[in-house]
């Protein structure tokens, strides 16, 4: 049975689509989400999704952000967009993101079903590796194949339609026919996906050989134009982007070449001084920058950094602060200039934390851009440390967890995450800590997922977003599937939808307290056998007695250590 994920913030649309699809053509397995962020959680789970149907205008994460994410991480999943704001410009934007199918709201169910049938009828036969597009087209011509090719390059998508080896039609962006074929042949690093045939009308009359020759000529002309139009500033900016992503060797090579042609460019010397680790060379390169631009504020600031570093650093070899580029000792835990801590060390949470916030905020912006360009573990890690120095606790947790998931074999990251979780678990119940946290709605509290997971499910009922996040990450690392609820009514709704294997239940909750929820669970024939562990900051015999009398399986007092929580859960599962 095919699985379809429907995403829309209108619950009526979700309900209508779910009912219509489940009863159509043998039925589909339907999963739903209210926004892009909830959809990402579903797509990131083990469940296989065969088709995504999404609205564009949504809260938290809109459809455009979701499409951008899917173009990087789920390119094989076809997408149908439904929108109430259709236009030629919207259609063009969707094509650029790889979406050829969209329907305007309000729509008839029959139209939606037709689109779904059309999309799912096109089975992917897999990707072709080791061939250029030109060579593969020649092979298809010899074999006289009838196929459709989906071409992907740098988030751009196009289609080639061949019938008995002949190109009959093509499309990409706002181009069609022969123009589209030539454009596709000019793309660099194109991936080729073979799909089943989509019957098309012939729009291409030229032979494949003539098209290949014309495309080769145009590609050479474009490459030459790019080489001649590329300015020195563009080259230096590319080098700076490499340095920001911690690709220091490549950046050094590029800047050295740049300075050979532009020896009087002070920014070249400034950046050259920032990405080397020998104090004498740093001083020499920075001196060149100062001679060329003595009044440049960046040069003046870097001279101040160097002067401060020379007072405290005796070694010739140094490292660079990942936030302000200041030279620091190789084993330093804190930068002497921006005062940021460089990692989570043993004394981090008892140390003074008063960084220069403006520098840290610029670093956050810089590393955010880097991870937008590439999958960069250094950028994820230092972005999380920057947020931690700024005491942005929720952002820190999310990013640190992402870092560990990207490189689970790096013990240094998981050790630091453990220290962070231990600290936050012990501190998250205090008023001063909570006041600094953004009170965000949990990511998946309202999503309705109609598919059982093989993992053990744990429902976490907790109104503190920080405590919820700590528990979710701690248990997620142990392989549990986490469902979140922030109040009593939401907890009962999630309980009915998800049928968890265990419930972690806070006592003090809005709308309905934990004791009332517990009594409802235990009075229900379906749910009464689910173990319930009570969580509370109230430690006393009366509270424990009330919990036990209502049917609680166990009782944990906040703050608690994550390992104690895990031990309790494993005991009852």
* H/E stretch holding 311: helix 297-312
Lowest mean pLDDT among 144-148, 179-183, 261-265: 144-148
Which of 489, 479, 539, 493 is closest to 510 using CA atoms?
489
3-state secondary structure of 74: coil
Delineate the domains of the chain, giving CATH numbers in brackets. 3-120 (3.40.50.2300), 124-229 (no CATH), 232-317 (1.25.40.10), 457-572 (3.40.50.2300)
Question: 60: phi > 0 → left, psi -120 to 50 → alpha, else beta; which?
Answer: left
CA distance 289 to 266: 4
pLDDT tens across 304-357, in order? 999 999 998 989 999 999 999 999 999 999 999 999 999 999 888 888 889 999
Sign of CA dihedral 72, 74, 77, 82: negative
CA distance 282 to 314: 14
CA distance 458 to 519: 18
3-state secondary structure of 156: strand
Task: Kindly indicate the confidence band of residue 430, based on its pLDDT and cuts at 50, 70 and 90.
Answer: very low
pLDDT tens across 53-80, in order? 888 888 778 788 888 888 777 777 888 8
Lowest mean pLDDT among 248-257, 325-334, 557-566: 557-566
The residue written with tokens 């690709």 in the block is 247
Whole-prediction pTM value? 0.52
Comparison of pLDDT for 562 and 272, the residue scoring more? 272
Which of 363, 356, 358 is closest to 381 using CA atoms?
363
On average, the pLDDT of the chain sits at 82
């Amino acid at each position: 049975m095919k699985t379809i994920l429907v995403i829309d913030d209108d619950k009526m649309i979700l309900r209508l689509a779910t009912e219509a699809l489940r009863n159509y053509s043998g039925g589909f397995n339907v999963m739903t989400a209210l926004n892009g962020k909830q959809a990402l959680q579903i797509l990131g789970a083990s469940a296989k999704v065969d088709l995504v149907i999404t609205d564009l205008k949504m809260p938290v994460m809109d459809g455009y952000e979701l499409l951008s994410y899917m173009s990087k991480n789920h390119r094989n999943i076809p997408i149908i967009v439904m929108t109430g704001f259709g236009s030629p410009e919207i259609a063009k934007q969707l094509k650029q993101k790889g979406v050829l199918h969209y329907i305007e709201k309000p729509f008839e169910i029959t139209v939606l079903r037709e689109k779904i049938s059309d999309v799912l009828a096109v089975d992917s036969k897999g990707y072709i590796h080791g061939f250029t597009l030109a060579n593969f087209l020649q092979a298809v011509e010899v074999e006289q194949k009838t196929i459709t090719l989906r071409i992907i390059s740098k988030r751009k998508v196009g289609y080639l339609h061949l019938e008995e080896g002949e190109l009959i039609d093509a499309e990409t962006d706002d181009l069609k026919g022969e123009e589209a074929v030539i454009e596709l042949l000019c793309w660099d690093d194109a991936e080729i996906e073979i799909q089943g045939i989509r019957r098309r009308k012939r729009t291409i009359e030229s032979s494949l050989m003539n098209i290949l020759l014309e495309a080769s000529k145009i590609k050479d002309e474009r490459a030459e134009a790019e080489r001649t139009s590329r300015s020195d500033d563009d080259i230096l900016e590319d080098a700076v982007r490499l340095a920001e992503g911690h690709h220091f060797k490549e950046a050094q090579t590029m800047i050295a070449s740049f300075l050979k042609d532009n020896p009087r460019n002070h920014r070249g010397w400034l950046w050259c001084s920032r990405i080397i680790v020998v104090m004498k060379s740093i001083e020499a390169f920075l001196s060149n920058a100062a001679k060329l631009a003595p009044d440049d504020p960046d040069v003046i600031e870097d001279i101040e950094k160097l002067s401060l570093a020379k007072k405290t650093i005796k070694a010739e070899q140094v490292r660079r602060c990942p936030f302000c580029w200041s030279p620091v000792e190789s084993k330093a835990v804190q930068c002497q200039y921006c005062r940021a801590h460089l990692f989570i060390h043993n004394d981090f949470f008892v140390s003074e934390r008063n960084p220069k916030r403006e520098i840290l905020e610029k670093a956050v912006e810089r590393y955010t851009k880097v991870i937008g360009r590439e999958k960069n573990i250094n950028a994820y890690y230092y972005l999380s440390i920057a947020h931690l120095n700024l005491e942005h606790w929720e952002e820190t947790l999310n990013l640190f967890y992402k870092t560990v998931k990207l490189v689970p074999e790096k013990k240094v990251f998981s050790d630091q995450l453990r220290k962070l979780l231990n600290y936050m678990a012990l501190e998250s119940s205090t008023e001063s800590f909570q006041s600094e946290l953004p009170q965000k709605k949990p990511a998946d509290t309202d999503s309705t997922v109609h598919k059982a997971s093989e993992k053990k499910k744990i429902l976490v009922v907790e109104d503190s977003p920080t405590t919820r996040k700590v528990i979710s990450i701690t248990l997620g690392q142990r392989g549990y599937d986490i469902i979140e609820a922030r109040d009593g009514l939401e907890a009962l709704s999630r309980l009915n939808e998800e049928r968890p294997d265990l419930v972690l239940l806070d006592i003090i909750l809005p709308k309905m307290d934990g004791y009332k929820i517990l009594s409802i669970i235990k009075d229900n024939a379906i749910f009464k056998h689910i173990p319930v562990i009570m969580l509370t900051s109230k430690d006393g015999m009366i509270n424990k007695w009330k919990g036990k009398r209502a049917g609680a399986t166990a009782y944990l007092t906040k703050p608690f250590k994550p390992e104690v929580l895990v031990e309790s859960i494993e005991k009852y599962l």
